[in-house]
């Protein structure tokens, strides 16, 4: 189960009662964040070359989804199985 304290952010806010998530996009309550179809990527990519320098890039859904070739919701469902 993905919980907000595990670093999940986005359009889902933590509630103090069960169900523990409320999707701000579809205005529904969920016990598990993966039940909302509006999950998105927040992907950190570390890039380096022969100069031993390193740069970090933060990729959001529109770019990360093209790189991974799968929607975030589909990837989370597969990981939960």
Q: How many domains does the chain have?
A: 1
Give the whole-angstrom CA distance, residue 72 versus residue 52.
Answer: 31
pLDDT, one tens digit per residue, over 10-57 is 554 444 555 456 666 777 766 666 656 667 778 888 999 888 889 999
pLDDT for 62 beyond 80: yes
Where in the sequence is the domain holding 73, given as residue range(s)?
4-80
What local confidence, expressed as pLDDT, does residue 15 receive? 44
pLDDT band at residue 4, thresholds of 50, 70 and 90? Answer: very low
Q: Give the DSSP letter of residue 13.
A: E
Considering only residues 33 and 81, tell me which one the structure prediction assigns the higher pLDDT.
81
């Amino acid at each position: 189960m993905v919980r907000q304290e595990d670093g999940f952010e986005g359009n889902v806010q933590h509630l103090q009662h069960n169900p523990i998530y409320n999707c701000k996009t579809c205005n529904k309550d969920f016990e598990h964040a993966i039940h909302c179809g509006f999950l998105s990527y927040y992907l950190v990519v570390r890039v380096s070359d022969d100069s031993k320098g390193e740069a970090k890039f933060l990729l959001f859904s529109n770019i990360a989804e093209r790189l991974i070739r799968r929607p975030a919701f589909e990837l989370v469902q597969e990981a939960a199985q």
